[in-house]
Amino acid sequence: MTNIPETGRTPRVQIRLVVIQILVLSLLGTLGGRLWYLQIREGAQYQKEASGNHVQQVVDPAVRGDILDARGVPLADNETRLVVSASRTDLLKQKDDGKAVLTKLAGVLALKPEDVIQKVRLCDAKTPQPCWNGSPYQPIPITDEATPKQALQIRERSEDFPGITAEPEAVRRYAGPGKSNTAQVLGYLSPVTDAEIQKAKDTDSPYLRSDMVGRSGLERQYDKELRGKAGVTRYEVDNLGRVIGKAKSDAAESGSNLVTSIDSRVQRVAEYELDKAMKAARTQYDKITGENYKADSGAVIVMEAKTGRIVAMASAPTYDPNVWVGGISAKDYKALTGKDSDYPLLNRAIQGQAAPGSTFKVVSTAAAVNAGYVWDGGYPCTSSYSVGGQVFKNFEGENFGPISLGRALEVSCDTVFYGLADREWKKDGGINPKKGEPKDYFFKTAHQFGLGKETGIDLPNEVTGRVPDRQWKLNYWKANKDAWCKSGKKDGSYVEKIAYENCLEGNKMREGDEINYSIGQGDTLVTPIQEAMIYGAVANGGTEYYPTIGKAIISADGRTVQEIKPRVQRKLPVTQATLKGMDDAFAGVITRGTAAWKFGGWPQNKIPLHGKTGTAEVYGKQTTGWLATYSKDYSVIMTISQAGTGSGSAGEAVRNIYSALYGVQGDGSIDKKKALLPKPQTGLPKVRPDGTIINPKVSGDPAKDAEKAQENNPSNGDDQQPATTASPGTGNRNTRRRPHRRRGSRRMPS
């Protein structure tokens, strides 16, 4: 500006030139600022993106480990299938993006061309299935069911099929040795979801896009061990996917094999016997409901009493686990999970819960002893017990006079337990106890037995069951009182009356609640696995183990073996003397009590069995039968919903399982050669130097073999008293044990 006079130009131009200069500099300043923002402030972020840009991973999936039974027989392994895959990068290099090749391929595979083309397109927000959800650099599978002929056609004319491969690949298979199924215990696999990839991103076992993930059962519980580690090769690539940098690769590590304590033969027997028992129950007439028993679901567990290891676990209804292999169809999926299905995916051994009925008296007996009642005291076993105008009957009014606790357990005398529970209820302060006063021996003991919480078995999604103690009642009332108070009517139907009562004092422990509870009725819920754990503990002298199925994890090369040792969970809150008394009483149940009619001719002197029957009432449904038994080494629990009494519905099946385990023949003799597992399997299967596991062949059908051995069993004959003869419906809540009691009690010395 100093030279305005010199240039002789007007101020307007000079001012405008200054404006231009300032404008230009501010534009450059903007560029500098933006450059600083991108490179310095956000630089780290873009560096990450850049490295993601030019490094591509090619994944070589790891072979999933096998799941083996205790002798090494594979329950789940892998089979080789011919998988035809397309490489997107190769297809895109072709003029028409590979359309011609894919059409030709569809011809060879006998598929529709548009289906094949759809399978190789990449998924995004606008693309509906089918589409490829994985990395574009990963070969995209077109089919895993190619025949060798099709594969040969593709491989021999590879110049006609650029970018297409036909390779054998490992695909999960559930082998089902000896016709066993083990579906719910094994679980199943399905492809990993985006959410799971995100969640596991920064853990020590991140997922790969191509991964299959265990969704339930052992496949889920031991997913990390079974999955192994996929091999990843990193290539530096340019914008067209051409490899420009050197490759860094980690070889795939096969997943470890899981040895379980399941014995596939016993498993088969258990599944077969459960199914047979349910079918048999459906032919029986239930006089209470006036129709045949529905026997809609059931479970059976065979557990090693001294370790908690599961030898067999079956749940009905069941399904074929191989429907999951190679992707489940929408129709199959609906059949397994839809509203109209009977939910066969549920493992009812750990996810089914029902009132335990008289099998619960093992807890009540221990509670009575803990509360100070002497074992041999004379407790009146009257025909009924009245409380405030309400009459609690003892089955068909049997009256055994004053008896000991052991005898009460053996003959399952309800009135003895009613009386004891009622006395405790009164001692605890009745309907309005002072705060902190109730000793609640009956409830406390149930908790000490491990009820009301998971047993901790190595399977996912176990349910807890329920101990209906004061706290639970209060919470339950709070959650439901509004509904109860709305629908409750003093003089209405049965349901309305109950709602009315619950509205008034559902938050309190009523006399009738505790009386009902003492014989395992009412709101009490237990799972079969809890019963197995408790009765196993009674069998082994009072130690509850964590139930386990996994026994050892053996690395794919067989070099490292990680044993899963039995773990003690807790000790039963009982003395050895009490245990002895219970043990005797449970033996009596088999020899002369409620289960005796199913165990006639059993070689009790050689293989002493113990047991307790139970029949639980469910409002609006037929009764649930329980049979909890144990021998020296095993506890066997069977329960069938809507099938009548415990002994009637499950007695024969449980006996057949024991017969198969010990080789007991129909005539009561023992054939050691035919015994499947007279002693629990202690060792692990042997491993060959190449890492494969030596296993015996399971041929034929162990269940049919065992059945054949029972042909002349007198107690399995048709001339027996029907298992499920029901008493006339009296509306009384205590009718459930009547049918088998009718038989047993007559023979019982009083």
Contacts with another protein by CB under 8 A lie at 1, 3, 6-10, 12-14, 16-21, 23-25, 27-28, 30-32, 34-36, 38-40, 42-47, 49-51, 53-54, 236-240, 244
Q: In sequence order, what DSSP letters do the residues of 599-650 get, joined into one string?
A: STT--TTTS--EEEEEEE--TTSPPEEEEEEE-SSEEEEEEEETS--HHHHH
Residue among 24 and 495 whose Cβ is closer to another protein: 24
Contact 34/26 with Cβ under 8 angstroms? no
Give which of 244, 210, 241 is closest to 90, Cα–Cα. Answer: 241
Q: Measured from the CB of residue 103, what is the shortest distance to another protein in angstroms? A: 24
Q: Measured from the CB of residue 54, what is the shortest distance to another protein in angstroms? A: 5
Q: Measured from the CB of residue 125, what is the shortest distance to another protein in angstroms? A: 10
* CA 277 to chain CA mean position, Å: 22
Beta strands in 440-575 (DSSP E): 543-545, 550-554, 561-563, 568-571
Which tokens go with 115?
């289906």
For 234-273, what is the HEC assignment?
EEEECCCCCECCCCEEECCECCCEEEECCCHHHHHHHHHH
Q: Are strands 55-60 and 248-250 parallel, antiparallel or unpaired?
A: unpaired
Quick one: 27 exposed, middle or buried, by C-beta within 10 A (0-12, 13-18, 19+)?
Answer: exposed
Q: Measured from the CB of residue 127, what is the shortest distance to another protein in angstroms? A: 14
Q: Measured from the CB of residue 344, what is the shortest distance to another protein in angstroms? A: 45
Q: CA 309, CA 545: separation in Å to the nearest integer? A: 8
Give which of 132, 122, 135 is closest to 197, Cα–Cα. Answer: 135
Q: Measured from the CB of residue 44, what is the shortest distance to another protein in angstroms? A: 8
Q: CA 695, CA 721: separation in Å to the nearest integer? A: 43
Residue among 236 and 511 whose Cβ is closer to another protein: 236
Q: Measured from the CB of residue 94, what is the shortest distance to another protein in angstroms? A: 17
Cα-based torsion angle of the residue sequence 532, 535, 537, 542 in order, rounded to the nearest 10 degrees: 160
Q: Measured from the CB of residue 7, what is the shortest distance to another protein in angstroms? A: 5
Residue among 26 and 329 whose Cβ is closer to another protein: 26
Residue among 24 and 251 whose Cβ is closer to another protein: 24
Q: In sequence order, what DSSP letters do the residues of 314-332 get, joined into one string?
A: EEES---GGGGTT---HHH
Residue among 4 and 483 whose Cβ is closer to another protein: 4
Q: Measured from the CB of residue 11, what is the shortest distance to another protein in angstroms? A: 10
CB atoms closer than 10 angstroms to residue 529: 30
| CA-to-CA separations, 99 to 121, 296, 342, in angstroms, rounded | 11, 52, 45
| CA-to-CA separations, 26 to 17, 30, 189, in angstroms, rounded | 14, 6, 61
Q: Measured from the CB of residue 195, what is the shortest distance to another protein in angstroms? A: 22
Q: Measured from the CB of residue 140, what is the shortest distance to another protein in angstroms? A: 20
Q: Measured from the CB of residue 231, what is the shortest distance to another protein in angstroms? A: 24
Q: CA 22, CA 372: separation in Å to the nearest integer? A: 99
Helix (H) or strand (E) holding 173: strand 164-174
Q: In sequence order, what DSSP letters do the residues of 706-725 get, joined into one string?
A: HHHHTTT-GGGSTTSPPTTP
Q: What is residue 427's three-state secondary structure?
A: helix
Contact 70/259 with Cβ under 8 angstroms? yes
Which residues have C-beta within 8 Å of that of residue 638, sequence separation ≥ 6? 274, 277, 298, 299, 300, 301, 528, 626, 627, 650, 653, 654
Residue among 5 and 620 whose Cβ is closer to another protein: 5
